A = this chain, B = another copy of it.
Amino acid sequence: MSLDRWERQAQKGRDILNNSIPKQWLLPESQLALATTKNVIDFPEQSGLLSELEMLITELSATELVAEMGKGKLTAEEVVVAFLKRAVLGQQLLNFATEFLADEAIARAQELDKHYKQTGQLVGPLHGVPISVKEHIGFKNKTCNTGYVAYIDKVATEDAHLLRLLANAGAVFHVRTNQPQSLMHLCCSNNITGTTLNPHNRTLTPGGSSGGEGASMGFKCAPLGIGTDIGGSIRCPAAFCGGYGFRPTAMRNPMAGIQVACIGQETIHGVVGPMAGSSIEDLELFQKAVLDQEPWDDETSLMPVPWKTVTPTRDVTIAIMWDDGYVRPHPPVTRALRLAKEKLLAAGIKVVDWEPYEHQRGWDIISTLYYPDGAALQRQMLRESGEPARPLTEWAFSYAHPTPLTHAEAWTLQYERDLYRDEYHALLKSRGVDFIISPAYPAAAAVMGESHYWNYTAIWNMTDMPCAVFPSGLTVDPTLDALTEQDKKYVPRNEVDEREWNKYQGPWRYEGAPIALQIAGRHFKDEETLAAAKLVEEIIKDGKKSSKL
């Protein structure tokens, strides 16, 4: 049987991955969790692959790791080896990677250790922090397929700007991670390296499009990761996998060297941002390390806005958005919002309800602007290789206008996009609301292949509001989240609402899924949003910091 050309090309991508896996840390099949085991979150401990110290290292936050390395208590090499081992295990269980960078990462860690030994100083604020990197962020001399078989031979000529800045700050890149075909699923499957699974329940998707990163954060294959987000692609996988993610205001973080099929497209600005396994503090660490290097002085599309240090304040008004007026969240998600409201009120924070502002209008604009060319370029990418479209790729393309918009039509929509953003901003001010807590998705996570509804995250792309996602500390509970009699009587408001509501059926479909919260701040208030997220998380979790130190 001969393979189609696209299959031979796709095999190249799998070869890159397979050849890169450090074989010495592979567990024999027989020692792995059974394929039927859904939740593998505790498997690193059970596996015996990692030493006690390595287990401890991989449970620390980036901030804690840097502090320990600064005191000389850990070496960068120990740290990266620990995360590499955990990542190899993660790969065996979750298929989250596209390429391991073990040799380079270890060599880099050794250099950092040498520097520390010689000078007694860390090289920068991210000294020795292993960072996993979504595949379409370009690495010099490495292929960058962006989820398309057509790009399998495409080699980046230099490191993405962001990677250079992170490297300056001392970061170590040890693994590149998976993404969906076209980069436009809230799921993570492609025709090259396949489908990534959710570590909390392997029948669930880790979300997407930064789904490899989601799994990496959830399984703690790295303390920090890098995702990109044009409709929820950082926040959705952070939410589904129990991790942390931050979508900055557009044009703050450096985008140069991030590969996409439609490079130069500006109808909707994608952003790049940090994901973290264990703390909001790490998201701030990342942002500060990057923006302190004034990336706008090289990448002149960026806004020259330095990163401010902001201390959380309780003197804020936080609104809760229970429902976006179009799709009702599932019971577990509503339970987490109730917890947030209760705890915030008990802590003396001013909490109000948020009446959503024409979210459907926002969605109509943004979804059309994703593909002003009627997805012609994206379809061309599929035709070029001959690979078949994945179902969720077709789903995303279905947002496009059936024919390319004229330029004038696209300009009108761009004008309407700006108008909507201005209106939303004015509304926050007139209602006196600083932050909005909302679901990140109608469900705690999506069953594989079912991530259809984007607008709990995409709406904040539309309004270009910075937002963070963090775990509420709750997980889907078979008892607490059972459908009530009242739930069963719910009459959906429209077909989409019906489709999403009917997916719930009961907590059993989402067993073990962490329940996240999303907090959005006003346009440009990135620092304040992270500070508020930190405060809210602390309050919701009763100030219990989860550090293992």
Contact = CB atoms under 8 A, between A and B. Distances in A.
A407 B296 contact: no
Given A406-B404, A407-B377, A408-B373, A422 B264 contact: no
A299 B422 contact: yes
Of A404, A411, A429, the most chain B CB neighbours within 10 A belong to: A411
A298 interface: yes
Given A372-B407, A408-B376, A298 B426 contact: yes
Contacts of A524: 296, 300, 304
A515 to B, nearest CB: 31
A418 interface: yes
Interface string A252-272: 000010000011111000000
Contacts of A410: 264, 407
Of A297, A304, A407, A524, the most chain B CB neighbours within 10 A belong to: A407
Contacts of A436: none
Of A264, A373, A426, A429, the most chain B CB neighbours within 10 A belong to: A264
A300 B413 contact: no
A407 B263 contact: no
B300 A265 contact: no
A265 B304 CA distance: 23
A346 interface: no
B415 A264 contact: yes
Interface string A414-425: 111010011001
Interface string A362-395: 0000000000110011000000000000000000
B377 A523 contact: no
Contact of A373 (B256, B407, B412, B416): B407
A434 to B, nearest CB: 13
B305 A411 contact: no
Interface in A301-340: 301, 303-305
A77 interface: no
A464 interface: yes
A421 B373 contact: no
B373 A264 contact: no
Given A376-B407, A407-B377, A408-B377, A300 B425 contact: yes
A266 to B, nearest CB: 6
A421 B300 contact: yes
A264 to B, nearest CB: 3
A410 B464 CA distance: 23
B303 A411 contact: no
Contact of A413 (B264, B373, B523): B264
A100 B239 CA distance: 59
Nearest to A296: B524
Contacts of A266: 266, 411, 414
A42 to B, nearest CB: 45
Contacts of A264: 410-416, 418
Contacts of A372: 407
Interface string A284-301: 000000000000111111
A264 B408 CA distance: 8
A173 to B, nearest CB: 24
A410 B265 CA distance: 8
Contacts of A418: 264, 300-301
Contacts of A406: 373, 376, 404
A283 B405 CA distance: 40
Contacts of A416: 264
A414 B262 CA distance: 11
Contact of A404 (B256, B297, B377, B407): B407
Nearest to A373: B407
B301 A304 contact: no
A297 B429 CA distance: 9
A404 B406 CA distance: 9
Contacts of A297: 425, 429
Contacts of A429: 297
A263 B422 contact: no
Contact of A422 (B300, B303, B411, B412): B300
Contacts of A263: 411-412, 415
A441 to B, nearest CB: 25
A78 to B, nearest CB: 39
28 contacts: A256-B422, A262-B408, A262-B411, A264-B412, A264-B415, A265-B407, A265-B411, A265-B414, A266-B411, A266-B414, A297-B425, A298-B425, A299-B422, A300-B418, A300-B421, A300-B425, A300-B523, A300-B524, A301-B421, A372-B407, A373-B406, A376-B406, A376-B407, A377-B407, A404-B406, A404-B407, A405-B407, A407-B407
Nearest first, the 10 A-B pairs at minimum CB distance are A264-B415, A264-B411, A373-B407, A264-B414, A377-B408, A303-B303, A265-B411, A300-B523, A304-B524, A300-B425
Given A262-B411, A376-B406, 4 more contacts: A264-B416, A296-B524, A404-B406, A405-B407
Interface of A: 256, 262-266, 296-301, 303-305, 372-373, 376-377, 404-408, 410-416, 418, 421-422, 425-426, 429, 464, 523-524
